[in-house]
Structure 1
Amino acid sequence: MVNNFPIFRKSAEFLGAICGGLLIILPAVPQAVAQQSTPRVNPCPSIFYEEPHNSRVVVPQGCPPNALTQRLAAQGLLPVPATPSPDQARLGVGGEEPPVPSQPGVIQPRTVPPVQGEVAPVSPEPGATVPVEPRQAPSARIALTNSRVNIRLVNDTATNVTYQVIGDTAPRSLPGKSGVTLQGVTVPVSVTFQREDGGQLTVTPQASSEPGSLEVTFNEATDATQGRSAMRIEQNGSVFFN
């Protein structure tokens, strides 16, 4: 009987070497695949621009501002949003990648939809004239004395009117068919007023013969579009109603 033990031993050693190599190589394959398939983390996900996050969450620095970020920045509670970094600009809102060029060396422009609640700007055609909304004309003008004004409020309605000098007085009630004089009010100043029964008011201003004095008469409005609820006196004596 031929002794086959040496041949069997060599075959076993050969198979052991192959299996050992596989054990070394195989764990590295999933790791390489995992590294290649790991996505880039988007710093400006689109959820920031969807409700309720659009009005409740402040976006990170460098991301396009959402509604809440814009409102807080306008109030001076946040720094002005910074310009997005090149990497954030490349990812864009929601992590969208730029489109594949239709021709070699030519990149198609990418359109970013406006943030919810905003209107996308429309560029005027070359040579077109952009209309400018005219400023509201003042309802009255008065001559001021040392940047102060005396305001006479006359309630000609049958119900109480609540009025307030913003930054100066608390809300006060003016009974129907009565009047009150606010003396030495510093301008510019805003005065709010409303009927306590929820109705509308028409307002009639009249400059007094006395310098630095203004009389304002409240009447009941039958048309809601005629209703007014605030008065603004500018430093130049111009009087506006809203």
Structure 2
Amino acid sequence: MNNESQKFRKSAELLGAICGGLLISLPAIPHALAQQSTPNLNPSPSIFSESPYNRSQTPVTPGPSARPPRPVPGDKIQQPSPGGVSSDQPQLLQPRQTPSATIALTNGTVNIKLVNDTAANVTFQVIGDTAPRSLEGKSNVTLPGLKVPVTVTFEREDRGQLLVTPQASSEPGSLEVTFKEATNAAQGRSAMRIERNGSVFLN
């Protein structure tokens, strides 16, 4: 009986040691689990001063640079010329007016005879030479020795239109200008200019 008592006592002591170890290790298990479930904190203190990162705002990567559209075959590319006009557009030249008459000048001067075949008075003036003058209807006047180039203006006093006809005279260096009534405004003229080469232009 003594041997059995000793065995029972040893078994009880062994069991008590095992149970005691278990009791000691049980409080440590929840503590370890708690440490694993707690997320690691950012060791950098600057995290509290930075704005939160929004995962929905993905960085935008720059795309390929914009390229000019390729010209379509058959299209005409216009390049500006130094004068500001496209190279494919021909420049329009003003047509030169055809002289109404041509006379041979004498020493760069001309004698002009004005003939008023209308019934109204005509006011005329040699620009830069004479003051405005009046020429009565059915009359004439001669303006001698006018130095060219020269411009003469004329107007009917009743505001009607004048049909002007210049014609070289039989005398050298002389021009005869006849005034008649114009039937429409397109025929009306109000100025005459004689150039150095003897060309006579009406306007």
Task: Give the TM-score band, short-chain normalised.
Answer: 0.5 to 0.7
Q: Is residue 152 of structure 2 the alignment partner of residue 191 of structure 1?
A: yes
Q: Provide runs of 4+ in structure 1 moved above 4 Å.
A: none
Q: Once superposed, what is the RMSD of the aligned Cα atoms?
A: 2.1
Q: Quick one: distance in 1 between partners of 2:161 and 2:155?
A: 7
Q: Quick one: distance in 1 between partners of 2:84 and 2:140?
A: 50
How far residue 129 of structure 1 moved from its aligned partner, in angstroms, is: 2.1
Q: Quick one: distance in 1 between partners of 2:129 and 2:157?
A: 21
Q: Quick one: distance in 1 between partners of 2:84 and 2:157?
A: 44
Preserved CA contact (<8 Å) 2:85 2:91: no
| Alignment-mate amino acid for residue 227 of structure 1 | G
TM-score normalized by the length of structure 1: 0.49
Higher strand share: 2
**What is the count of residue pairs matched by the alignment?**
125
DSSP-derived class of the 1:137 partner: coil
Preserved CA contact (<8 Å) 2:123 2:155: yes
Kindly provide the CA deviation profile for residues 115-137 of structure 1, in whole angstroms up to 9, marking residues without a partner as x: xxxxxx973343x3222121101
Q: Quick one: distance in 2 between partners of 1:144 and 1:150?
A: 9
Kindly provide the CA deviation profile for residues 160-212 of structure 1, in whole angstroms up to 9, marking residues without a partner as x: 00000000000000000000000000000000000000000000111011110
Aligned equivalent of 2:97: 136
DSSP-derived class of the 2:186 partner: helix
| Partner residue of 2:114 out of 153, 178, 191 | 153
| Alignment-mate amino acid for residue 123 of structure 1 | V
TM-score normalized by the length of structure 2: 0.58
- Structure 1 unmatched runs, 5+: 1-102, 105-120
Q: Quick one: distance in 1 between partners of 2:183 and 2:107?
A: 38
Q: Max radius of gyration: which structure?
A: 2
Kindly provide the CA deviation profile for residues 66-106 of structure 1, in whole angstroms up to 9, marking residues without a partner as x: xxxxxxxxxxxxxxxxxxxxxxxxxxxxxxxxxxxxx99xx
Matches for 1:199-238 after TM superposition, within 5 Å: 199-238=160-199
